[in-house]
Amino acid sequence: MHAALLDQAHRAIEKKLPERGNDYRLGYHLSPPAGWMNDPNGLVFFRGEYHLFYQHHPYSAQWGPMHWGHAKSSDLVHWEHLPIALAPSEAYDRDGCFSGSAVVLDDTLYLIYTGHLWLGEVRDDDKIRQVQCLASSTDGINFTKHGVVLQTPPDPSVMHWRDPKVWNRDGQWWMALGARQGDDPQLLLYRSRDLHDWEYLGCALQGQRVPDGYMWECPDIFELDGRDFFLYSPQGLKPAGYDNWNLFQNSYRTGQLDDSGCFHVRGDLHELDHGHDFYAAQTLLAPDGRRLLWAWMDMWESPMPTQADHWCGALSLPRELSRDGERLRMRPARELAALRQSQTLLQSCEVKSGSCVLDVQGALLEFELELDLTGSSAERFGLALRCSEDGKERTLLYFDAMARRLVLDRQSSGAGVSGVRSVPIAAEQTRIALRIFLDRSSIEVFVDDGAYTLSSRIYPRPDSLLASAFAVNGTGCFSDISVWRLADLNI
C-alpha cells in the first residue's frame, strides 16, 4: 500500500507542475515542486551527500495529511528533488507522517517520525493519537516502514508527544520528544542501542503554561563548544516588549544534559531569529564538525499568496552555528558564496534627509555593507529594497536612532504581508555590519556577523526591483556597499 500511495502522490505533483505560478518562486531556497511544505526534518549526511526531508502535502498548497518530501545536495547550494520518502499509509500513521529525524547506522539510513491519527470524525487537536515510528533505506531513496517503536507516552493522559530528534551520544542513541501534559510543556528523553527498543529516561525539563507556553515542538539538543543547547519551537508564548510577536516562536536555552537524561538550564530563553517567518529549526552535524541549521521560512496563519500558484512554503538558507557566551551566532553557510555571480561595488556615501537610488536592481541579490552610527545624525537611515517605480512597494531595513534598534519593516512589501520586527543595537556600538540575501519572495538579514538574524517572506511584484539608501531628519552614513547578483537555480 505504501508504494501505491507514493506513486499517487508523485502523480499529483506532476499534474500540478504545469499549473504552478512562478512570480514568487524562490531562485536559490529549497521549496516544494508543488503542494505544501512546512518543517524541515531528517537532516542527515549519507554517502557523501546532504539529505534534507520536510513536511509535505503533495495534493494541494494547503496543510493536509503529512508526507515526507525529500531533496539532496553535495554542496548545500544545488539541490535535487528526490521521490517522496514517506506517505501516510498504515493504521498507525494514516493521518500523517509528522516531523522527526534521520540517522545512519551500519550504512543504512533510518527515519524516525511521529505517526498521527485523528480519533474523531472531524479534525480536533483534543482527540488525537500519536506514536513514534521507524523506517529505513539502503539506497537513500526507497524506504521500508518498520512500524511503531514507541506506542504510548509515559503518562497516558498525554496526547501530544511528537517530533523525535535522535542523535548518538557516547555510543548510544538518544531521542528527544516534545510533549504537552495538560497545558504545560515537557521535554522527554529516551535511549536505545539499536533504534528499535527504547528506554524512557524521564522528563528532562518541565515547563509551565506561564511563562513557557503550552507545547515545545521540534526539540533539538546539541553540544557546541562545551555547552549543551536545547533548541525548540514553543507554542503559546505571550508577546513581551519587542519579543515573541509571531504566532509561534523559535527559541533556545543553554545548559547541561547529564547522563541520566536531565537537562540543567544555565541561561535565559533567547529567540533564535527575529524576523516574521522562521519556525521549526533543526540542526545537522556536518562531516567537518560544523553545526548547520535550517528552518521553515514561513509562519502559521500568515498570508501565503503562493497558495494561489499551487505551491507554498520554503526553507531558510543553511546557517552555521557558533557559540558566543550563552548565545548562538548564525552565519550563512560558507558554501553560499558559490551563488555569487557579477559584483557591483557602490562607493561609501552620505544621504541627507532624503533618498539615493542605488545603481543596482534585481530580485536575487546579496548586499554587504556597514551603517556608520558615529557619523550619522538621522533619526532613521538604511536601505529600501525591492522598490517599485512609483514607491508604493518597498521593504525597509533601517537603524532607528531613538529606539537604538535595527528595524525590518514590511508594511509595503507586497501581497498581504505587514508588520515590523527589530533587534537591539548596543549604546556603545558605532557600526552595524549587514549581510542581506534577497530572493523573489524572501529577505534574510544577518546582523553583526550573525549576532542577530531577521528572516521574512515578502511578496512584491516581479517588476519591483529598485534599491535605495535613505535617511530621515538628518544625515545617514553608509560604507562601501558590495552587491552580488545571485544564481537563479530554480530549485
C-alpha distance from residue 167 to each of 305, 312, 374 (Å): 37, 30, 47
What whole-number distance in Å separates Cα of residue 291 and Cα of residue 306? Answer: 31
What whole-number distance in Å separates Cα of residue 254 and Cα of residue 256? Answer: 7
C-beta of residue 360 within 8 angstroms of C-beta of residue 344: yes
User: Closest by alpha carbon to 23, among 297, 394, 309?
Assistant: 309
DSSP 234-287: EESPPPBTTB--SSB--EEEEEEE-TTS-EEE-S--EES--SSS-EEEEEEE-T
C-beta of residue 484 within 8 angstroms of C-beta of residue 26: no
User: Closest by alpha carbon to 117, among 159, 55, 83?
Assistant: 159
What whole-number distance in Å separates Cα of residue 430 and Cα of residue 451? Answer: 15
What whole-number distance in Å separates Cα of residue 99 and Cα of residue 95? Answer: 13
The dihedral through the CA atoms of 258, 260, 261, 263 has a sign that is negative
C-beta of residue 475 within 8 angstroms of C-beta of residue 352: yes
Neighbours of 390 (CB within 10 A): 7
- Identity of the residue numbered 227: R
Encode burial over 86-107: b for 16+ CB neighbours within 10 A, e otherwise: bbbbeebbebbbbbbbbbeeee
C-alpha distance from residue 388 to each of 61, 356, 420, 468, 488 (Å): 28, 14, 20, 11, 21
C-alpha cell of residue 405: 534598534
C-beta of residue 260 within 8 angstroms of C-beta of residue 202: yes
Catalytic-role residue among 7, 23, 39, 126: 39
C-beta of residue 280 within 8 angstroms of C-beta of residue 38: yes
Residue 39 annotated as catalytic = yes
Neighbours of 185 (CB within 10 A): 26
* Residues with active-site annotation: 39
